[in-house]
Amino acid sequence: MKAQLEQLVSQAIKQLQSEAILPEDLEFRVIFQNTKDKSHGDIATNIALMLAKKVGLKPRDLAEKIIPHLRGHDALDKVELAGPGFINFFIKASNQNQVIGSILSQQREFGRSQLGNNKKVQIEYVSANPTGPLHVGHGRGAAYGATLANLLTATGHDVQREYYVNDAGRQMNILAASVWLRYLELSGESIVFPRNGYQGGYVHDIAKTLLEQHQQRFVVSAETVFANLPLDEQEDGSGDKEAHIDGLIEAAQTLLKADYECVFNAGLDEILADIRQDLQEFGVEYDQWFSEKSLSQNSAVDSAADSVVNNAVDTAIKELQQNDHIYTQAESDQPNTLWFRSTAFGDDKDRVVQRENGQGTYFASDIAYHREKFQRGFDQVINIWGADHHGYITRVKASLSALNIDPDKLTVRLVQFAILYRGKERVQMSTRSGSFVTLRELRNEVGNDAARFFYVTRKVEQHMDFDLELAKSQTKDNPVYYIQYAHARVCSVARKLKEQGLEFDQPQGLAQLALLSSEHEKALMKKLTQYPELLEKAAINYEPHSLANYLKELAGDFHAYYNANKVLVDDSELRNARISLSLAVKQVIANGLEIIGVSAPESM
């Protein structure tokens, strides 16, 4: 409907241009809003207010010139001027109710579109370090990313879902050291566990499996392990926990030699498998799991040059060097450190990409990874990161500019933490200490449906408090229960129809939609017509919360209608019309819930 009205308003303005009332070179865009007050019609545009200054007219005067060219359209009851220059459209009921037939014929496809025109989009989300189970904070990013991917798919984009596995770097080495120390404990060694190690019970479980599979293969005496290590942080504040854990990592690598990789992989493989399973059970699937470690591996042999191709990190750094975006500080105490000129592209300081010892930084891997993404041919890349990664956006976009990649092709959405409450007590979370609530524990307590829905009810950049008691409640205050109950209510209508020995005549129902004249019915039909546009806006703006809010409103309108009107009336024509309306509501609810990743039960 809005597309038709946009064309109508555009034609009216062009007519005024042809009559020399408006300038020929006038540029404009017609924007519509759904009205909240039914006295203001169904749809309104502020085009007169937007163009008034450009054409030298008062908004109301301009609106009065546009409106005569709008009247008489078959879909409109009337067009009115309101306020300082708004144009309000009142749509005929016969036009509003056509949406019911569209929904019942298109079913699951209703609302879907080709807006994206198969634009290739990659979405990377969650990508939590495989150093422990996923916690409730990761769950929000998972729900948001999966729903956004579904939204973009529903609107005609070619979407690839990716998980970036951080399987390289210091945190993974800390995990490996932690597993090894617990393994030594289980082998009878007396270990003082480092304050900066991973403390969770899952580390004990991995160490136990390691011992069962390899027996005493990795045992080294505690005296040997801790010999000459920097002192760990003490109660009096002395010591250095960071230097201590780094010393333990070096000891593990030196003492275990080739076996270190076996211990390292024991932790990585076990935790990554758990993350995969957890996400699958949460309804979150990926097209690709991309290994960070692969970026630093020599990937192939160049047959033409008969030489090993440099790894992705080295290749990215060399490309930046060739473009004079890398420099060293010869006069400094670290003359071999490589710096990226990030400040040349808007960053607040330059960034190290290769340390004095020749080891690449996390940022170097980020550069190589994003370079690799765009080499795969994506038109748009969307990164969904935790809010603590805010500082990374500018530097990553700077590296894209330096690599001659349009930084606007990268969109970053920062996910604020979901704060979990048990009663009035906030639960603190720390992966290393092991004192955290896992995503699996949350799902087991409130269910996948409640978790998926609650996570996307607010803008992703806003903090959210996750109310466990509300998520488990079976009341209208629980939005997911309220929406699912609306779907189940329509299903119960079909069962009651059968129990009464009646049949639904859909052709008759669609032929008698004019009988749907109550305010509740009009409100429902108006709400249903908004779904396709709502879906497109949610996709364009990357805002799944607007779909969640729409479904709450639609369910509320249906419950109000159902409570005020009997659906299975004696009059077969009215009955079939009302059943048609109810089935349309049911279909749209099911369509929306599917995108969010929530089930649509037939009974509750």
The reported pLDDT for the residue numbered 540 is 96
As given in the structure block, the two tokens for residue 2 are 């809005």
pLDDT band at 435; cut points 50, 70, 90: low
Euclidean distance between CA atoms 434 and 448, whole angstroms: 23
All structural domains of the chain with their residue ranges: 2-91, 98-111+476-596, 170-281, 300-415
CA–chain centroid gap for 211, Å, is 40
18: three-class secondary structure by DSSP: helix
Is 3.40.50.2300 the CATH number for 300-415?
no
pLDDT band at 330; cut points 50, 70, 90: confident
Query: DSSP class of residue 237?
Result: S
Euclidean distance between CA atoms 383 and 412, whole angstroms: 5
Mean pLDDT of 154-162: 98
Task: Indicate whether this model's pTM tops 0.85.
Answer: yes
Mean pLDDT of 498-510: 95
As given in the structure block, the two tokens for residue 512 are 């008698």
Q: Which amino acid is at 127?
A: S
Euclidean distance between CA atoms 82 and 64, whole angstroms: 10
Do 268 and 293 touch, CB atoms closer than 8 A?
A: no
The sheet carrying 32-34 orders its strands as 32-34, 43-45, 86-91, 76-82
As given in the structure block, the two tokens for residue 457 are 């009810």
pLDDT band at 585; cut points 50, 70, 90: very high
| pLDDT tens sequence across 377-433 | 999 999 999 999 998 999 999 999 999 999 999 999 999 988 887 767 786 655 545
Euclidean distance between CA atoms 588 and 506, whole angstroms: 17
200: three-class secondary structure by DSSP: coil
What is the third-level CATH fold of 98-111+476-596? Isoleucyl-tRNA Synthetase; Domain 1 (1.10.730)
Nearest residue to 157 via CA among 474, 470, 382, 421: 382
Q: Which amino acid is at 227?
A: A
The reported pLDDT for the residue numbered 429 is 55
Alpha carbon of 457 to those of 148, 416, 440, 466, 546: distances in Å?
A: 13, 13, 20, 11, 8
**Mean confidence (pLDDT) of the chain:** 91
Radius of gyration of the chain (CA): 30
Do 354 and 361 touch, CB atoms closer than 8 A?
A: yes
User: For the chain, how many residues are written?
Assistant: 604
Burial of 494 per CB tally in 10 Å (0-12, 13-18, 19+): middle
As given in the structure block, the two tokens for residue 510 are 């669609």
pLDDT cut 70: percent of the chain above it: 95
> Where are the extended beta strands (E) located within 285-407?
288-291, 301-302, 307-308, 326-327, 338-340, 351-354, 380-386
Euclidean distance between CA atoms 529 and 564, whole angstroms: 22
Kindly give, in sequence order, each residue whose CB lies less than 8 Å from that of residue 258, ignoring residues fewer than 6 positions away: none
Alpha carbon of 189 to those of 205, 261, 313: distances in Å?
A: 17, 21, 40
Q: Which residues pair with 120 in a beta bridge?
A: 158
In sequence order, which ranges of 323-434 are alpha helices (DSSP H)?
362-375, 392-402
The reported pLDDT for the residue numbered 94 is 65
| pLDDT tens sequence across 4-61 | 788 888 888 888 888 888 888 888 888 888 887 878 888 889 998 999 888 889 999 8
Q: Which of 33-47, 121-135, 491-505 is the least confident region?
A: 33-47
Complete DSSP assignment for 404-452: T--GGGEEEEEEPPEEEEETTEEPP--TTTT-S-BHHHHHHHH-HHHHH
Euclidean distance between CA atoms 321 and 340, whole angstroms: 9
Mean pLDDT of 221-241: 91
As given in the structure block, the two tokens for residue 263 are 């211990």
What is the third-level CATH fold of 2-91? Gyrase A; domain 2 (3.30.1360)
Mean pLDDT of 243-257: 96
97 or 337: which leads in pLDDT: 337
| pLDDT tens sequence across 264-323 | 999 999 999 999 999 999 999 999 999 999 998 865 443 333 334 458 999 999 999 999
The reported pLDDT for the residue numbered 305 is 35
| 482 pLDDT more than 90 | yes
pLDDT band at 129; cut points 50, 70, 90: very high
Do 174 and 244 touch, CB atoms closer than 8 A?
A: no
Euclidean distance between CA atoms 540 and 154, whole angstroms: 12
Kindly give, in sequence order, each residue whose CB lies less than 8 Å from that of residue 228, ignoring residues fewer than 6 positions away: none
